[in-house]
A and B are shown apart, each in its own frame.
Chain A
Amino acid sequence: MPEPLISINEVKKYYPIGSGLFSKKGKWLKAVDGISLDVHRGETVGLVGESGCGKSTLGRMVVGLLEPTAGEVIFEGNSLLSKGRNKRDLGKKIQMVFQDPYSSLNPRMNVANIIAEPLVLHKMGTSSERKKRVDELLEKVGLTSAHGSRYPEEFSGGQRQRIGIARALALNPSLIVCDEPVSALDVSIQAQVLNLLKEIQEDMNLSYIFIAHGLQAVKHISDRIVVMYLGKVMEISETDQLFEQPLHPYTEALISAVPEPDPTVRNRERILLSGDIPNPANPPVGCRFSTRCPLADERCKREEPQLEQVSEGRWVACFYHG
């Protein structure tokens, strides 16, 4: 196995809760509670899970927008947590595409300036070189250089997401964290953006960490999928295997819950999870999924199952996995 591009080792992010003057100290919201993951060059790893599972927090720690409480992120052999110049240089190689194409572009900057900003910040190229680079990038994402002088408000959601992608590509990164990049877009536009991301990846040998709650998009784009629940990994698997034969009961329920665009299967047997996602500030003892799991018994409510390898490339955290 070649050296992974990025290694996430036992990363944790805890937030203090009730840290007011009179409240009890020492309570933590464990948004991400010990997650390890390798991403290889040219690979797309999908992070799926419902609200509060920590997928966005993990993505933000990878890009350096949040600092982990514990654990480390190794990128091309260097720790991302070291301070100073090194971090800045490593930062160039990891970029992000955000969910909301409306709030992630500065409405007062024209498109060319938005895309050139990372170049300016890292003092790269002369202004004419930067201009050339911006034109190249616009073309790469399916826009034209004439779009450069316009402002974000003149663009549709899908076009804005293209601008966000162009900005992420400006510094020639090796890894892009895509945080729900198509969730805010219309169906026909989602397909366009997903195709664009795939084309760019093949072109530039990029790696993606693709965060989404929509299983269809994740399945389409990912080589491997990490299923998360309340800050923990439930299952890691190669994509096709995961959908063919999900091992964790949560994965199985998640897949079964997706409404399929085919009315002939509407009366299929499906797993309907009862109850709500527990409050992440107060997760269940034992297995975190035990309160909603159809297979849970006494042991699951006492003991927490560890993530274990069950076959080549497949990891699952469940005592009774299928």
Chain B
Amino acid sequence: MRGHNEPVLEVKNLCSYIPTSRGVIRPVNNISFSIGAGEIVALVGESGSGKSVTALSVMGLNSPSIKYEKESIISFKGANLLKMKKRQMKKIRGNEISMIFQDPMSSLNPLHPIGKQIAEPIQLHQGVSYKKAKKIVLQLLEKVGIPDPENRLNDYPHQLSGGMRQRIMIAMALACNPSLLIADEPTTALDVTIQAQILNVMKELQKDTDISILIITHDLGVVAEMADRVLVMYCGEIVEEGDVYSLFQNPQHPYTKGLLASVPKLRGASEKHLHTIPGTVPNPLELPKGCNFSSRCSFATDKCLSDAPDLIETGKDRRAACWQIVDSQKEEVTVHA
């Protein structure tokens, strides 16, 4: 594990809501976490868990229909990004915090050659000419493993494969030496051998530049491969947090346990029947009254159905939100007393 002295990003009580005619939806409901310098943090969860909304909140790119409760804080180098003016935010976005998206084809402009596109943030934030920026672009292309970069500068996105496009996206994101990179499902759209290449590029770059990475994914394999620390989200809340080794070895929340158990194993003989989490993710307008996971949890008790558990400390660098854990901790205390 790397040392995380001063956190680069600190999210506190992030609470977002969308007022609709049928009620209020809370895509992200009171989450807090931090990312240390040089740390890779993974945000995992299924669709609708709020992981992408969290990422876009940091970037200030959420749709204006998403509002934030006033106690929400996203603090980056001491400043609250949520309170920032648009102009100030523009100076940070793409410069100090940058992002790569799932689909590299739709996030690149099809009408401009890639060299120009990678140079754009450099020209914008450093006020240099294309000629000067080009030098940096060539270095970046080399860094992300594009062969023969000189001749690729004038290529258009459609001339490149999916893997190459994602490398271009990474080059663009790194153009201004950001201190935080947000990667939203960076390899989901790619083939598996290409995914391995891209993950490798990201790891190497992280080692070289000591950048912090927030990686958003639904793939537990990618998490295990990349992350130092893991945040598991469900229905807009963090249900479990821990360093990657202890979380995979000893998941505490029933949802994390269920997720890990439902991945078919690649090693050894195939299991006859896969473990499943029953039911589906609840409708955000009809969340259960107590714990959000109670409707699908096989350990749910009456208490789980009526009260929501808090995210509490469960060990060194571990947090989880489950009554079962709260109760077992209490028992321990009484035994010791």
Do A and B come together as binding partners?
A: yes
Q: Is A156 an interface residue (CB 8 A)?
A: yes
Residues of A within 8 A of B337 (CB): none
**Interface contact A190-B269, CB-CB below 8 Å:** no
> CA separation between A263 and B269, bound complex, in Å?
20
**Interface contact A272-B263, CB-CB below 8 Å:** no
Given A188-B258, A220-B270, A276-B164; A261-B192 close (CB under 8 Å): no
The tally of CB-CB contacts under 8 A between chains A and B is 131
Given A261-B248, A272-B200; A195-B163 close (CB under 8 Å): no
Question: A115-132: contact bitstring with B at CB < 8 Å (1 yes, 0 no)?
Answer: 000000000000000000
Kindly identify which residue among B197, B259, B263, B270 contacts A273, using a CB–CB cutoff of 8 Å. Answer: B197
Cβ of A183 to closest chain B Cβ, rounded Å: 10
A contact patch SS: helix
> CA separation between A197 and B149, bound complex, in Å?
47
Cβ of A281 to closest chain B Cβ, rounded Å: 13
> Which range contains the number of A residues in contact with the other chain?
35 or more
**Interface contact B266-A243, CB-CB below 8 Å:** yes
Which residues A248-278 have CB closer than 8 A to chain B?
253-264, 266, 270, 272-274, 276-277
Which residues A52-97 have CB closer than 8 A to chain B?
none
Given A188-B46, A273-B197; A195-B274 close (CB under 8 Å): yes
Which residues B193-213 have CB closer than 8 A to chain A?
193-197, 199-200
Question: B223-240: contact bitstring with A at CB < 8 Å (1 yes, 0 no)?
Answer: 111010000000000000
Q: Is B148 an interface residue (CB 8 A)?
A: no
**Interface contact A264-B221, CB-CB below 8 Å:** no
Cβ of B44 to closest chain A Cβ, rounded Å: 9
**Interface contact B161-A219, CB-CB below 8 Å:** no
> Which range contains the number of B residues in contact with the other chain?
35 or more
**Interface contact B161-A277, CB-CB below 8 Å:** yes
Given A213-B191, A220-B270, A276-B194; A187-B262 close (CB under 8 Å): yes
Given A213-B192, A243-B267; A261-B280 close (CB under 8 Å): no
> CA separation between A187 and B264, bound complex, in Å?
10
**Interface contact A187-B259, CB-CB below 8 Å:** yes
> CA separation between A249 and B264, bound complex, in Å?
23
Given A259-B222, A272-B200; A217-B280 close (CB under 8 Å): no
**Interface contact A262-B281, CB-CB below 8 Å:** no
Q: Is A29 an interface residue (CB 8 A)?
A: no
Kindly identify which residue among A195, A254, A274 contacts B192, using a CB–CB cutoff of 8 Å. Answer: A254
Cβ of A45 to closest chain B Cβ, rounded Å: 15
Kindly identify which residue among B163, B220, B262, B263 contacts A276, using a CB–CB cutoff of 8 Å. Answer: B163
Residues of A within 8 A of B164 (CB): 276
> CA separation between A84 and B194, bound complex, in Å?
44
Given A191-B276, A195-B276, A277-B161; A186-B46 close (CB under 8 Å): yes
Given A261-B260, A263-B245; A216-B276 close (CB under 8 Å): no
Q: Is A159 an interface residue (CB 8 A)?
A: yes
**Interface contact A263-B244, CB-CB below 8 Å:** yes
Q: Is A245 an interface residue (CB 8 A)?
A: no
Residues of B within 8 A of A260 (CB): 221, 224-225, 266-267
7 example contacts (A-B, Cβ-Cβ < 8 A) are as follows A189-B280, A191-B276, A191-B277, A259-B219, A259-B224, A263-B245, A273-B193
* In the A-B complex, the 4 residue pairs with the closest CB atoms: A259-B221, A50-B191, A191-B262, A220-B264
